[in-house]
Amino acid sequence: MFTITKSEIGWNFDNSYVRLPKEFYSEVNPTPVNEPELVIFNKYVAESLGLDVRGLLEGGVEVFAGNKIPNGAKPIAQSYAGHQFGHFTMLGDGRAVLLGEQITPTGERFDIQLKGAGRTPYSRGGDGRAAIGPMLREYIISEAMHGLRIPTTRSLAVVTTGEPIYRETVLPGAILTRIASSHIRVGTFQFITGLGKREELKLLADYTIRRHYPEIKDDDKPYLALLREVINRQAALLAKWQLVGFIHGVMNTDNMAISGETIDYGPCAFMDTYDPGTVFSSIDTGGRYAYGNQPYIGGWNLARFAESLLPLLDENEKKALQLAQDEITKYNGIYRDNWLNGMRAKLGLFNQEEEDKELIEELLELMKTNSLDYTNTFAALTFDHLDGIMMCNKNEFENWLQKWKERQSRQKKSETKIKELMRSSNPAVIPRNHRVEAALEVAAEGDYSVMGKLLEVLKDPYAHSPEQAEYAKPPEPSNKPYQTFCGT
């Protein structure tokens, strides 16, 4: 394939992952397409990667389409496994090709991956392609998550391929260029443990420590420390999801990144009306990954990660199991502390009191009972716009508000500081499902202006600007429940 020199665009690839044993990947090139067209490009991400924005706009479409391989890249598809809805399966990148790792001017390392780039050895009969809607959805939601200050993979570009994609209907094809701290998953560890290869497992663990947790490389028990650090990051991530009402939709272990980033935005969505039982994904018929279940599933997935590390934790199987169990049992407390502290910030509370959990849960129960909008209720509390949330059960809300104000008064912070904390903790906007769908609907016809306006509004969700007011409105009531669908 034609190669592009670094001087033309700014690509600066290393390929540390391919220095792992062959079990971890397969060498594969993207499948070229005939008529690629760049439809959206993230210049902010490009600049952070040290890439030439103008050069990419003029000639990057061929790279984003998989038609040209940048100089220094070594395309691969990664192998991994996963518990999908609780059932273990050997998997891999069935429609994604990792070009390599871009080294930024500051020395950071990011995977550059093409999603929807054609068949790989792991496609299992699939076409390896992606439709425009799911790729643009990932672009929108991942950028919204970045604006919400939640660790996430990000999107560099989306191109259309000029080829039809056959799902329930015929759809325009597309490829997403995704960047990530890495694509190492819980399922990556499960895959190599499932092969029974301890030495390769050790190599993967050492590689992961060097790449994501270098501060623990000299620890007396580095693999136990790795488990501990991943638990800490995942507990913090899950708390951040819950605090903004984000529902991932498919929390399989192959969709859980060891880096602590949110990854794989398939049937994801944000909750409007507060209800812990909220499920949007059409394939989650049992509600396994409902909003209220996400913290539990995070712990369940981490237990599977701990199981994969057992051969490294101690030569004595019983002792290894006890070491893993001791760490996993800490997850609930770590998650709870992250969530409680986040909720305290949303309510303008700087310090901690024993009764805070009860105060928070009482508010959430009122929100559920009265079918209140999750995001807008906290915004209303932030700006004292209380009329709307007090229309139902006025006495109950007045009682709660009195408790809340009394709780705020028991801290040595001014009203100004309290409001500043709440403003910075409660977003004015989230990517409302009806807004996302409206953008995707016209984008499928080639109009990306609606999506552009939505992305601009979501760039700083804590701005509370006049321009955001229209986008903060919940959808009109509907008898038809909102559903999301897996892109494959």
Point out the residues that are catalytic: 254
Query: In which element (H, E) is residue 365 found?
Result: helix 356-369
* Burial letters 228-260, b for 16+ CB under 10 A, else e: bbbbbbbbbbbbbbbbbbbbbbbbbbbbbbbbb
Cα(350)–Cα(411) distance, integer angstroms: 7
Sign of the C-alpha dihedral computed for residues 231, 291, 126 and 164 taken in this order: negative
Sign of the C-alpha dihedral computed for residues 262, 268, 273 and 276 taken in this order: negative
CA 158 to chain centre: 18
The residue written with tokens 């991530």 in the block is 237
DSSP string, 378-420: HHHHHHT--TGGGSSSHHHHHHHHHHHHHHHHTSS--HHHHHH
Query: In which element (H, E) is residue 156 found?
Result: strand 154-166
Output the CA–CA distances (angstroms, integers) from residue 127 to 94, 173, 339, in the order listed. 9, 11, 41
Query: In which element (H, E) is residue 347 found?
Result: none
Count CB neighbours of 219 within 10 A. 15
Cα(115)–Cα(97) distance, integer angstroms: 7
Backbone torsion region of residue 437, taken as left when φ is above 0, otherwise alpha when ψ lies between -120 and 50, otherwise beta = alpha
